[in-house]
Amino acid sequence: MDIDLTPRLAKQVYGGDGGSYSAWSPSELPMLREGDIGAAKLSLEKDGFALPNYSDSARVAYVLQGNGVVGIVLPEKEEKVLPVKKGDALALPFGVITWWHNKEDTEFVVLFLGDTKTAHKRGEFTDMYLNGSNGIFTGFSTEFVNRAWDLEESVVKTLVGNQIGKGIVKLGGANLPEPNKEHRDGMTLNCEEAPLDVDIEGGGRVVVLNTKNLPLVGEVGLGADLVRLDGSAMCLTRWWRGREREDGSESGSDVSEKDSGWEREGAEGRERRRVKKKRWGSSSPPFCLGGGEVGR
């Protein structure tokens, strides 16, 4: 099977003054489809607000840059609003509703990786928005919404016809819930502050997400490793996907914060391939094949 493994940059799906949402396409990275892995990136400018939505896939979110606020509504649970910062990882089970907001001057960037085995399209996420011009209410007539939810006509018209933002908007003086630091407990893990699973002086450091340090990983079914390599260091050969961890989670694609390179080996030691990866470039190693990464 000859599949192009060249790392790619995400392409913008939509955006505006408030920020942008970009995704890696399985048409350009075929191994996303083969591995049933989705990958996307949310970038919010100051006062940018990602409208409430839920995905057709369970995901792991990782804050690549900046500080922000996220609202999370788990099924049959009350909303939690928590502050997040660079290095934070969050496990987002299937059906969870989230919104994201950036109050700071610095750009706020979040990476999403997820399992798409049960998704509408293999290798990519399909998000459903609760409001906005592409919100779920806009697909229904005002009469249907009125009868289904027993709402006043003025409220129905607002829900169906008065929302012009799509996905991301820029807020000005909006009254949003204040973040609660206590809500971080059990919901997020800062991988830059967490105890290290591997620490090699002059080499690199590794933090592994699992059900012990982030319990919701068990509901996502997809784990993640944060690997930080010093210059000229090498991450020894390891196996991607297909090797289930003890807690039931699996590894997935990798995204590099800085320029780097990795080499993978095909079945029976054949088809060795080296690739270079730019900052925020994504690659998805094949099912059950080994590979290693080198810092630059």
**Which ranges of 162-267 does DSSP label H, i.e. alpha helix?**
217-220
What are the tens digits of pLDDT across the range 228-249? 888 888 876 555 444 344 444 4
**Half-sphere exposure in the Cβ direction for 188 (13 Å, CA):** 26
Band of pLDDT at residue 250, cut at 50, 70 and 90: very low
Lowest mean pLDDT among 93-107, 121-135, 219-233, 255-269: 255-269
Higher-scoring residue by pLDDT: 139, 285: 139
The closest alpha carbon to 61, from 6, 110, 27, belongs to 110
Over pLDDT 90: what percentage of the chain?
A: 38
Cα angle vertex 283, ends 29, 184, to 5°? 115
pLDDT at residue 187 in the model: 94
pLDDT at residue 89 in the model: 96
**Half-sphere exposure in the Cβ direction for 70 (13 Å, CA):** 27
Torsional sign, CA 16, 17, 18, 20: positive
Band of pLDDT at residue 279, cut at 50, 70 and 90: low
| Overall residue count recorded for the chain in this entry | 296
Mean pLDDT in residue range 38-52: 95
| Coil, helix or strand at residue 59 | strand
- Contact present, 205 and 257 (Cβ < 8 Å): no
Lowest mean pLDDT among 50-54, 68-72, 151-155, 292-296: 292-296
The closest alpha carbon to 129, from 100, 90, 93, belongs to 100
What are the tens digits of pLDDT across the range 76-101? 889 999 999 999 999 999 989 999 99
Higher-scoring residue by pLDDT: 147, 105: 105
Band of pLDDT at residue 175, cut at 50, 70 and 90: confident
Helix (H) or strand (E) holding 275: strand 273-277
* Beta-bridge mates of residue 43: 20, 109
Which amino acid, 118? T
The closest alpha carbon to 43, from 28, 57, 23, belongs to 23
* Distance from C-alpha of 289 to C-alpha of 237, rounded to nearest angstrom: 10
Tokens coding 259? 């320029």
* Distance from C-alpha of 67 to C-alpha of 237, rounded to nearest angstrom: 34
- Contact present, 262 and 277 (Cβ < 8 Å): yes
Burial of 263 (0-12, 13-18, 19+ CB in 10 A): middle
> In whole numbers, what is the pLDDT of the chain averaged over residues?
80
